[in-house]
Structure 1
Amino acid sequence: VCVVDMLTRAGLLSRAKEFIQEMPIEPDALVWRTLLSACVVHKNLEIGEFAAHYLVELEPEDSATYVLLSNLYAVCRKWDARDRTRQKMKEKGVKKEPGQSWIEVRNSIHSFYVGDQNHPLSNEIHEHFQDLTKQASEIGYVQDCFSLLNEAQQEQKDPTIFIHSEKLAISFGLLSLPTTMPINVMKNLRVCNDCHDWIKFVSKVSNREIIVRDAYRFHHFEEGSCSCKDYW
């Protein structure tokens, strides 16, 4: 995995693919997922589809593969292919696990879902989220709606669909924790591209250290950058 990760970070996707094919042992799902994730970053449709094929064979019930492949089609603006991938998920009975994030504040665990409005401080959290997003936009943040929806669908969807659980958890943490404390959040799924960008900008405008543990790795955000160097 380390070699594949290094090659893909350098943009050498074809070499990474060759390395995997030449491995003396059967590559596991983590290896193929690393390659597929890099293909989303580099918008490499051909190698991404190749990696997804093997991932589906290894883990046919894992929704993460279909989500990553859908994201690849989305960043490549292949909407029909993305819709077919989601339809295939339905036909196979593969359900995407709802995104959920957790943060500990004053010895209590607080949980959030997409667009969550059930928290006692929901109004304050959403207001602070909007304020953070405005500040982030002023220094360059642009919401990546297309990683989720195409142009036609955007107008039909509730805007809260773009407020992923980690955004709410971080907004709550910034409201509730002392300015000297880092924000620590856990998420059960991979952080999407838009949320990753948003957290980078928020770490800068808030001048806070933000640590997010998602399904794949730790992300250490500080002063507008992430420890993963945008590969995860």
Structure 2
Amino acid sequence: MYAKCGDLELSNRIFYMMPKKDTIAWNTMIIGNSMHGKGEEALLLFREMVSSGVKPNSVTFTGVLSGCSHSQLVDKGLVIFYAMRKEHGVEPDSEHYSCMVDALSRAGRLEQAYNFIQNMPMKPSAGAWGALLGACRVYKNVEMARVAGKQLLEIEPENAGNYVLLSNIYEAAKLRDWIQVKDKVHTFVVGDKNNAQTAVIYSFLTEVGEKMRLAGYLPCTDLVGQDLDAEEKENSLCNHSERLAVAFGILNLDGASSITVFKNLRICGDCHNAIKYLAKIVGVQIIVRDSLRFHHFKDGLCSCRDFW
């Protein structure tokens, strides 16, 4: 519960207070660290689990491989993947294969990821093709994106997220963020103007935007797919739901030292960069949970080390 709510430290303290740790407890802690981008810690926990005599299961390896994927530990992930059957008697399933495709894709090893998919002993899942497609956008591999996109749309023709990836439009209508302030949950969408503090939010973003520029922030307008001029593209980036939610949280800190925002899709690359500057300028910790993982922003840095 604590790990999913963003408090990994408290989750860790409770885990080590347990007099006896079963497979579920170890798995929960491994997955918790993976969710927060702490792949090395997840690997360490996995080794401690095995050393303690507790047998890892399929869920254990999903957690470990996911942690490797989100922490640029590709080769370590491959070692564990190939040891699953040989050393631990656990047969890799489609989810484990997808984790490795994700790890290879994030590292830019697209050809290797594609070959990994081609050699899967089962039909490749949407997760595997989706990981490859997302990486194709990052690494600008148009030809492979066409292949991955075609397969993905055949598997999940009604999944709107796939069309968002293919169309490269971040301002999709279903993109939402939510934040809890004083026991009330506030929801934001792209360009939202329904919040009672809308005018203050946009004014704050304009004001802090100047400070961010002076600190070195440069808007990444390449991430805006519409046919707009440079100034309009920059304004469009400021309308992103995650930025609106973060600004609202900052304006309503009320003595708190951190805020937590939840979103239902992957965080925009430009917003990720902007929030690093916001955290440093305002002097607070900003935690963003997107569809993939937790991002802890503090002092101009993110826990994911710009890799997610």
Report the residue type matching 1:182 in the other structure.
S
Q: Which residue pairs with 1:15 in the alignment?
A: 112
Segment of structure 1 superposing worse, 200-209 or 48-57: 200-209
1:104 maps onto 2:180 in alignment: yes
Report the residue type matching 1:56 in the other structure.
L
The 1:45/1:158 distance shift into structure 2, 3 A limit, reads: closer
Instruction: Structure 1 unaligned segments of length 5 or more: list them.
Output: 75-95
C-alpha displacement of 1:158: 9.1
Question: What is the rounded CA distance, in whole Å, between the counterparts of 1:42 and 1:197 in structure 2?
Answer: 18
Provide the aligned length of Structure 1 versus Structure 2.
208
The 1:108/1:61 distance shift into structure 2, 3 A limit, reads: same
Give yes or no for contact 2:261–2:287 (8 Å, CA) kept in 1.
yes
Question: Post-superposition, which runs of at least 4 consecutive aligned residues in structure 1 deviate over 4 A?
Answer: 155-160
Q: Which residue pairs with 1:50 in the alignment?
A: 147
Question: What is the rounded CA distance, in whole Å, between the counterparts of 2:175 and 2:218 in structure 1?
Answer: 22
Q: Which residue pairs with 2:127 in the alignment?
A: 30
In the superposition, the TM-score normalised over structure 2's length comes to 0.61
C-alpha displacement of 1:131: 2.2
The 1:131/1:33 distance shift into structure 2, 3 A limit, reads: same
Q: Which residue pairs with 1:195 in the alignment?
A: 271
Q: Which residue pairs with 2:283 in the alignment?
A: 207
Match of 2:229 among 141, 154, 178: 154
Q: Which residue pairs with 1:67 in the alignment?
A: 164
Question: What is the rounded CA distance, in whole Å, between the counterparts of 2:135 and 2:267 in structure 1?
Answer: 14
Question: What is the rounded CA distance, in whole Å, between the counterparts of 2:127 and 2:165 in structure 1?
Answer: 13
Give yes or no for contact 2:221–2:233 (8 Å, CA) kept in 1.
no
Q: Which residue pairs with 1:91 in the alignment?
A: none
C-alpha displacement of 1:146: 2.9
Question: What is the rounded CA distance, in whole Å, between the counterparts of 1:221 and 1:159 in structure 2?
Answer: 22
Higher CA-based Rg: 2
Give yes or no for contact 2:173–2:189 (8 Å, CA) kept in 1.
no
**Secondary structure of residue in 2 paired with 1:184:** strand
In the superposition, the TM-score normalised over structure 1's length comes to 0.79
Segment of structure 1 superposing worse, 128-137 or 141-150: 141-150
Question: Counterparts in 2 of 1:90-129, with a 5 A limit?
Answer: 96-129=172-205
Match of 2:304 among 211, 218, 228: 228
C-alpha displacement of 1:155: 7.2
Q: Which has the higher contact order (CA 8 A, sep 6+)?
A: 1
Aligned-pair RMSD on alpha carbons? 2.4
Residues 64-92 of structure 1: per-residue CA shift (max 9 Å, x gap) = 22221222xx9xxxxxxxxxxxxxxxxxx
**Secondary structure of residue in 1 paired with 2:228:** helix
Question: What is the rounded CA distance, in whole Å, between the counterparts of 1:19 and 1:143 in structure 2?
Answer: 35
Q: Which residue pairs with 1:78 in the alignment?
A: none
Instruction: Structure 2 unaligned segments of length 5 or more: list them.
Output: 1-97
